[in-house]
């Protein structure tokens, strides 16, 4: 069964900036989705900020295996209730791939628990993405590095938690470095951040960038059944304890009563 | 110079439950602060939910090296602005020690990015806390284990991110286990979660529990200067790049312009 | 294509102890291999200490996707050259599943870089293996826990490096706990340690233990091409640098010369 | 009480290469020890490969809090018994700081369990060491980066296990990147690898490099009592179990008998 990927795009600069429109006439989300469809095992759909419920109604999120997120100008316009919905679904097992300026999206900051800040410069400089672990699933089909001729610089310190794995580190012409590909887990969900993708350059048309995204979708997909109720803290009555115990001492709660939140 | 610890207590059950009042007539926060003061290198103060700004005004948080957090019934009553203030201060370098039912506090969930849920049973059963790494700073002065005669069971799965270190694992009479002491880092701040501490048992009067808390304060203290501005993403104009570069290609932003958030 | 698993058994107690022989008349390695074969996607073969080159000649190791290791009495008899061969193949990408008393095997200690010591008691007590992350690939098809009616106790501290993931934690009737399932990565190889499996109890006949082993084989399998030459440190002559540089200053080595080891 | 640091130097190139001799007439180990002594809280001594037992007799290693290791040409000449001694002492709690070409030392490879390989080029190019976490103890007193005017390039992939923390990442003039400062723990011992330090450049005369080394000694120092016996696996007789249990079933071992290794 195909992996159900959903590409979420903010879809603003593509309509307001002539530069971006020329590079991505159908929107970046559609270019990314097209890159994903080069893998026959991935079914890719799109959603945008402007759609009702930002294109992320409950039922659709529930049917998504891996969500890709590109946002920049309008992080603050994303509805908190929808951010919570997406976060809960990541906890249940949906993969999440956060792209470029998505480092400052509500959903990424909430899942990381850190500022997710960095340093930036828009000078069309050269970027060289080094593959740190060539046997990682996300690095399959790549050489030792990817060369991006013109990029926005994103520089360290990148204030995220220590990752589970560092997959890529970037060298910039202007002298900075950046951990450009990292992984984390939150609940049952796998998360990958990938920094290349500034909207004024044709980065998502780059074949190797597409390869990374396809690999990342496969990596982030958790085929386990959704972990429903992962956010609940159930009471376990004493008579259901694996070992026989006698209730002693003082209590605040009655058997089976809900805890405080 | 002494470490400035601040013990935050929800301070509700101590006033509304006869059982808890009897165990902690001055409130659990004061019992915990007294335990900390047994270390002459720690200055311990207290704050409660009922104080103005929950006892956590900006200036006081800025002067705190390590914050200890005990809450249970009223997690939802903690003001979001104050949670954000505390989170920002943790990022800057303040240590945070989250106690027992604080697993469901807003501040802990925000810093972890996960549900922080668990399973629970209030049966006064026996708990045995095993020291996993006896050379860890938080385990100094302890034996191979701590015996707690009556406790609330907190059982796995405990849905937190994989920790930096697992310091303690608990065995329960009723048959469950729990990772009762774990560490993480978020920004410049060190975080320790410690599960024992149910309000209907005299756990914070236990000498070895006090030892753990004192150790944890010392461990969580980061003497580095506060990392001010850690949440900002500064633009680095091209003419300040470490390597000389020529600006090329299209841009969205002017030099020195603020980025989007 | 099927995953090529190889079950390595020390194969001593099965021949010298009447108790073990009765439980595992064909050797534990054959019981384990039979459990793996219940998954049609796994091809399982066996090797033992007594075979030439311990059943691990170069060509066979090169053709193995995942190696399972059960040893106890004769860790010291395993040839160092073969340990190095296996270690190198793990670095290249072969998965390794270390079982029970294999915690003290040469190969596990070498890959961990720690003592891998623990505390033990042989009293036929009850073990309850709690699933810490039910959405982990290794936990698929299990309930919230596995009950083992009679086991050898392996107690903390278990002196291994902090794992990538803690998948299982065990509760023992006698009062101890143990991190009974953990993962690590070394080079391109994934490693899983699983503690149940004492030879005087029928643990490898237990259906859920078989399920864990099959899951672990699938998890440990890295389909990426072998990372050949991973242990080499190649010289990168200056004229092949990605950026044009001029050689300056003093040198120890000539272009393309091998480094010291 | 001062931290007892011991700087181990291979001490070969300083005597055989005119270039190195000129930069380090007293040997690199003495230059490094002098840099450490700028911190009054550190007592620094030296040892070399040529000393009896390489300057690392049992009693001296036992009295060392933090060992610094610089080797290159003669890794293979270091006696295995002494490597084991050092490894055991790290497990007990001694800090270890591995410098530059020490990435291929026996002691580092043993503690990591990986090849520790990398790519290299000796062209006197520029290196810029970025501070990834400015609040880390090892980064105190530094600015956002260290500039090294001439260095040997060490490039990724650097085949070490995922670190506990990445403290520094290096940018090279020739286009590569490197995780130049990383931390790990093994047993009770803290380990820091720091890549700058090629012998044909005056890197250990650089003030900021000295600052890093002093910081690293303080960070790596574990004041806990040595974890003696950490490599032993003691039997815990059934009558000493924390919970009363009745011995059942078949056994291989008698009470208190030593296990197999």
Q: Over the stretch D117-143, which tens digit does the pLDDT of each residue have?
A: 999 999 999 999 999 999 999 999 999
Which ipTM was obtained for this model?
Answer: 0.95
User: Is A112 in CB contact (< 8 Å) with chain B?
Assistant: yes
CA distance C238 to chain B (A): 20
Rounded distance, CA C89 to CA C84, Å? Answer: 9
d(Cα D148, Cα C158) in Å, to the nearest integer? 42
Q: Is the pLDDT of residue D252 over 90?
A: no
**Predicted pLDDT of residue D250:** 78
Confidence check: pLDDT of A261 > 80: no
What is the pLDDT, as a whole number, of residue A116?
Answer: 98
Among candidate residues C145, C185, C149, C153, the one with its CA nearest the CA of residue C169: C145
Six-digit token string for A175: 């002298």
- Indicate the Cα dihedral angle B84, B88, B90, B94, nearest 10°: -110
Residue range D218-250, pLDDT digits in tens = 999 999 999 999 999 999 999 999 999 999 887
Whether B75 and B64 have beta carbons less than 8 Å apart is answered as no
Share of chain C above pLDDT 90, in %: 94
DSSP E strand boundaries for A187-239 = 189-194
DSSP H or E stretch at residue A106: helix A106-112
Distance of CA C161 to CAs B96, B140, B185, C224, Å? 25, 20, 18, 25
Residues from chain B contacting residue A85 (CB–CB below 8 Å)? none
Nearest residue in chain C measured CA to CA from B170 = C177
Q: Which of residues 58-87 of A touch D (CB under 8 A)?
A: none
pLDDT per residue as tens, chain B (261 positions): 899 999 999 999 999 999 999 999 999 999 999 999 999 999 999 999 999 999 999 999 999 999 999 999 999 999 999 999 999 999 999 999 999 999 999 999 999 999 999 999 999 999 999 999 999 999 999 999 999 999 999 999 999 999 999 999 999 999 999 999 999 999 999 999 999 999 999 999 999 999 999 999 999 999 999 999 999 999 999 999 999 999 988 788 776 677 777
**Helix, strand, coil fractions of chain C, as percent rounded to 5:** 30, 30, 40
Q: Is D137 on the interface with C (CB under 8 A)?
A: no
Average the pLDDT over D142-155 and give the result.
Answer: 97
- For testing contact with chain D, the best of A142, A166, A169 (most D CBs within 10 A): A169
- Measured between alpha carbons, how far is B212 from A206 in angstroms, rounded to an integer? 54
**CA–CA separation, B76 vs B96, rounded Å?**
19
List the single residue in C140, C145, C222 with the smallest CB-CB distance to A224.
C140
State the smallest CA–CA distance between residue C224 and chain A in angstroms: 6
Average pLDDT, chain C: 96
- Using an 8 Å CB-CB cutoff, list chain A residues near C136: 224
Q: Decide if D134 and B227 are in contact by the 8 Å CB cutoff.
A: yes
Q: What is the C-alpha separation between A2 and A15, in angstroms, rounded? A: 31
DSSP 8-state symbol, D22: H
Task: Please state whether the predicted TM-score (pTM) of the whole model is above 0.80.
Answer: yes
The residues that bridge with D60 in the sheet, in sequence order, are none
Phi, psi angle pair for B203, to nearest 5°: -65, -35
Q: C52-77 as b/e, with b when 16 or more CB fall inside 10 Å?
A: eebbbeeeebeebbbbbbbbbbbbee
Show residues of chain B in contact with C172, CB under 8 Å.
171
> Which bin fits C226, alpha (ψ -120 to 50), beta or left (φ > 0)?
beta
d(CA D194, CA C220): 31
pLDDT above 90 as % of chain A: 94
Neighbours of C40 (CB within 10 A): 7
DSSP class of residue B122 equals E
Alpha-carbon distance values, D49 to C52, D37, D44, D71 (Å):
39, 22, 17, 9
Tell me: pLDDT of D105 over 80: yes
Q: Could you tell me the pLDDT band of residue C104, with boundaries at 50, 70 and 90?
A: very high
- Would an 8 Å CB–CB cutoff place D176 in contact with chain A? yes
Spatial distance between the Cα atoms of D233 and D253, rounded to a whole number of angstroms: 14
Q: Is the pLDDT of residue C181 over 90?
A: yes
């Amino acid at each position: 069964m195909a992996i159900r990927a959903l590409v979420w795009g903010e879809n603003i600069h593509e309509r307001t900036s002539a530069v971006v429109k020329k590079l991505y006439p159908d929107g970046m989300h559609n270019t990314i989705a097209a890159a994903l469809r080069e893998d026959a095992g991935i079914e890719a759909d799109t959603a945008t900020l402007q759609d009702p419920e930002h294109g992320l109604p409950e039922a659709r999120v529930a049917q998504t295996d891996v969500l890709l997120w590109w946002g920049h100008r309008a992080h603050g316009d994303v509805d908190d209730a929808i951010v919570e919905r997406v976060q809960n679904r990541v906890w249940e097992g949906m993969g999440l791939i956060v792209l470029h300026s998505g480092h400052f999206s509500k959903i990424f900051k909430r899942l990381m628990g850190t500022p997710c800040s960095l340093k930036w410069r828009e000078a069309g400089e050269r970027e060289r993405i080094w593959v740190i672990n060539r046997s990682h699933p996300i690095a399959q089909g790549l050489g030792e590095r990817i060369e991006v001729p013109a990029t926005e610089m994103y520089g360290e310190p990148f204030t995220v938690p220590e990752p589970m794995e560092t997959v890529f580190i970037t060298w910039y012409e202007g002298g900075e470095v950046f951990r450009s590909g990292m992984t984390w887990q939150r609940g049952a969900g796998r998360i990958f951040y990938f920094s290349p993708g500034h909207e004024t350059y044709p980065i998502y048309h780059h074949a190797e960038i597409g390869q990374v995204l396809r690999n990342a979708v496969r990596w982030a997909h958790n085929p386990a059944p959704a972990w429903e109720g992962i956010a609940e803290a159930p009471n376990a009555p004493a008579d259901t304890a694996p070992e026989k115990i006698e209730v002693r001492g003082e209590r605040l709660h009655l058997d089976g009563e809900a805890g405080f939140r």
